[in-house]
Amino acid sequence: MTTTHFFLFITILLHSCHSLTGADDFVRSIDWSLLGLNKEEKVSHLKFYWHDIVSGKNPTSIEVIGATNKINTTTFFGLTRMLDNPLTLGPNLSSKLVGRAQGFYSSTSQTEADLLMAMNFAFIDGKYNGSSITVLGRNPIFNKVREMPVIGGSGFFRFARGYVQLNTYSVNLKTNDAIVEYNVYVIHY
């Protein structure tokens, strides 16, 4: 066998093995250690207060799409707000700032006061500084306790999953500013 034939044989053999292993697929298994992870999971509970400030000279939640009043005036169907809300340790806005909730919420029901919420909890304090937890889910705002899924995270919370439970701490009926207590239960590496 000549050198040319040998290289041709090796090339065909490698291509055949490549096709047989399914390496052309866009999904493959990886070694956890390549990502700097081990398989030991941790569970963390975080508690903080979310301040939705819609009034005043410096609101942290602004309307980007108004409700369509022709359809429903009781649920504000279609209303969408972009937010950059403070997250504090206690219910007072002057309490220690631990992060910001950045994202949006929209009124998604024509019959109930339900919100679709998509946001990142971007932490700025302690060992969580620079890390985030991502939440996406339905928030029926008049229920005493609501639950939404944690769908991911970054930094300390890379590969996070879990859920948040939230309940309204207070609402100012004149300004519509709200404070909501969040309890986050997250599994991460």
40 pLDDT band, cuts 50/70/90, is confident
> What is the tens place of the pLDDT at every residue in 71-112?
556 666 667 778 999 999 999 999 999 999 999 977 766 677
**What confidence score (pLDDT) does residue 107 get?**
75
> What is the tens place of the pLDDT at every residue in 141-157?
788 999 999 999 999 99
In the 8-state DSSP scheme, what is residue 16? H
Contact 42, 187 (CB under 8 A): yes
**What confidence score (pLDDT) does residue 141 get?**
79
| Cα gap 141→114, rounded to integer Å | 6
Residue 18 has pLDDT above 70, yes or no: no
**What confidence score (pLDDT) does residue 74 get?**
64
Going by C-alpha positions, the residue among 56, 172, 186, 42 that lies closest to residue 121 is 186
Return the higher-pLDDT residue of 4 and 116. Answer: 116
Going by C-alpha positions, the residue among 160, 162, 157, 164 that lies closest to residue 183 is 164
Q: What is the DSSP string of 110-176?
A: SSS-EEEEEEEEEE-SGGGTT-EEEEEEEEETTSSSEEEEEEEEEGGGTT-EEEEEEEEEEE-TTT-
Contact 32, 26 (CB under 8 A): no
| Mean pLDDT score, 108-135 | 88
Residue 1 has pLDDT above 50, yes or no: yes
Where are the chain's structural domains? Answer: 39-188
Amino acid at 139: N
Residue 62 has pLDDT above 70, yes or no: no
From the options 1.25.40.10, 1.10.486.10, 3.20.20.70, 2.40.480.10, give the CATH code of 39-188.
Answer: 2.40.480.10
19 pLDDT band, cuts 50/70/90, is very low
| Mean pLDDT score, 170-187 | 93
